[in-house]
Amino acid sequence: MLLVGVVLSTMVIAQDAIVKKAAIGFRVSYLDFKKTNLTEGLSTGVPAFGIQYFKGIRPKLDFMANLDLASIKYPYYTSLKVPKATSNQTYAAIDFNVNYKLATDDKKIVPYLTAGIGVGADHFSYYTAYAPIGAGIQIKAKYGSFVNIMSTYRAEASSLTKMHYSHSISYTLPIKGRDKKAIELPPVQIKVDADDDGVSDGDDACPNQKGTAKYRGCPIPDTDNDGLNDEQDQCPSTEGIAKYKGCPVPDTDRDGINDEQDKCPTAKGLGRYEGCPIPDTDKDGVNDEEDKCPAIAGIAANNGCADLQPQINAVTAQLKFATGSNQLNKKQATPLNSLVQLMIDNPTIKLAINGHTDNTGSLKINEKLSLSRAKVVMNYLVKKGVESSRLSAHGFAYSMPIADNKLSKGRALNRRVEIEVQY
């Protein structure tokens, strides 16, 4: 009865400037039927199309009617024993609502609350009453038209009704046509130009400063306030200097040091070197800050110091063994002692000690013999004070010959220990 009273009131209440005129429009909706344990295999949502009608009651109160048409298998509760649809059926729904707006229609965006009563017809055989409750946003468009975005909860108002949601968007136009703006003739003005810049004061945005017509009577702007106007400034939004046409002092190598302070403007560097890269005094490819021997050319593997492998090779050239023997002779002590001193002078290096044999005898015997030769050298170095953690011993038997094992001279060269430096 309350809804009927609201509808009738639209016929007797006088309209004023901010009461909505009667309007009708097209509406697109999405009907969202939530799944329950009673709705087996239900598709939860379907699109709907229809029309929407509005009529103002008060400045903040509107009457609204909605008509939706959809194609759907209506999801009746299984407990109602309504025959389950085997294909989509035409579904029509009409509802009447009252909208309470939180602002008047002269605002661009108007939120509102809505409530009403409606009925749906499933292929015009079953009727389902529902009560829509929700909220929406009205967006003002041109010529008295509106865009409405709305969501409502459609509560069950009959035993056949299945609770669902409706989400919609619509565009409505006033039934009496567009609101046209009255044509106003501009008042006749006597042109005055106080700053004598050729732009009359009525059109001059800066009537007390001489400017140009291009800038509505104002001077040419200087956006970045660097003293160079925007038409002469090649960097109008960045403060600069006249020497660089209004741009900042350049930084060609992009190292954060401008070219006027950078001693190496084309090479990326550091402030502590006045914009130049970290120097490499000995030109060995390792910069002085990382080079432990900055005045002597070396290798990166040894932190810029000299390559120690040639010195070690000179020692291992003398580490040859008799056939079947793993014993060191007295002559080999001198080069090994020099190797001990090298390890003391270079505490960061490690050594891989590799033993080898000729091809005399079986592989099993030679594997054992080659490893024992490596361990003899390793044990000598440990006894002389080299930490065992810096040494490793390996045996390769006769798998890596350096000479022809068919000749006695070649076999003598193959009975050896080689040492590889590990930086």
The CA-based angle 109-66-49, given to 5 degrees, is 95
Domain 309-422 in this protein, CATH class: alpha beta
Q: How many CA atoms lie within 13 A of 41 on its CB side?
A: 4
Q: Beta strand 350-355 with 391-395: parallel, antiparallel or unpaired?
A: parallel
Cα–Cα nearest to 417, from 384, 371, 380: 371
Structure tokens at 46: 């379907």
Give the N- to C-terminal CA distance of the chain in Å, as an integer.
Answer: 96
Give me the amino acid identity at 288: D
3-class secondary-structure state, position 206: coil
Cα–Cα nearest to 166, from 25, 24, 33: 33
Instruction: Count the neighbouring beta carbons within 10 Å of the beta carbon of residue 328.
Output: 17
Q: Could you read off the pLDDT of 169-205 as tens digits, one per residue?
A: 999 999 875 555 545 667 766 778 888 888 888 888 8
Give me the amino acid identity at 194: A
Structure tokens at 206: 């800066």
The CATH number given to 2-174 is 2.40.160.20
Distance of CA 69 to the CA centre of its chain: 43
Q: Digits of tens for pLDDT over the chain (423 positions)? A: 444 444 444 444 444 457 888 999 999 999 998 764 444 444 568 999 999 999 999 999 999 999 999 999 888 887 888 888 788 889 999 999 999 999 998 899 999 999 999 999 988 888 999 999 999 999 999 888 999 999 999 999 998 888 899 999 999 999 875 555 545 667 766 778 888 888 888 888 898 888 898 898 899 998 999 888 988 889 998 998 988 989 999 999 898 999 988 989 999 989 988 899 999 898 889 998 888 888 778 899 888 888 999 999 999 999 999 999 999 999 999 999 999 999 999 999 999 999 999 999 999 999 999 999 999 999 999 999 999 999 999 999 999 999 999 999 999 999 999 999 998
The continuous run of DSSP H or E covering 121 comes out as strand 109-122
Whether the model clears a pTM of 0.85, i.e. scores above it, the answer is: no
Q: Where in the chain is the domain with CATH 2.40.160.20?
A: 2-174
Torsion of CA 288, 291, 293, 297, to 10 degrees: -80
- Phi and psi angles of residue 410, each rounded to the nearest 5 degrees, phi first: -65, -40
Residue 127's contacts (CB-CB under 8 Å, 6 or more residues apart) are 119, 120, 121, 158, 160
What is the C-alpha to C-alpha distance for residues 312 and 299, in angstroms, rounded to an integer? 16
Structure tokens at 340: 């001990």
**Exposed/middle/buried for residue 418 (C-beta within 10 Å: 0-12, 13-18, 19+):** buried
Give me the amino acid identity at 51: I
The label of the residue with tokens 């697109």 reads 28
Q: Where in the chain is the domain with CATH 3.30.1330.60?
A: 309-422
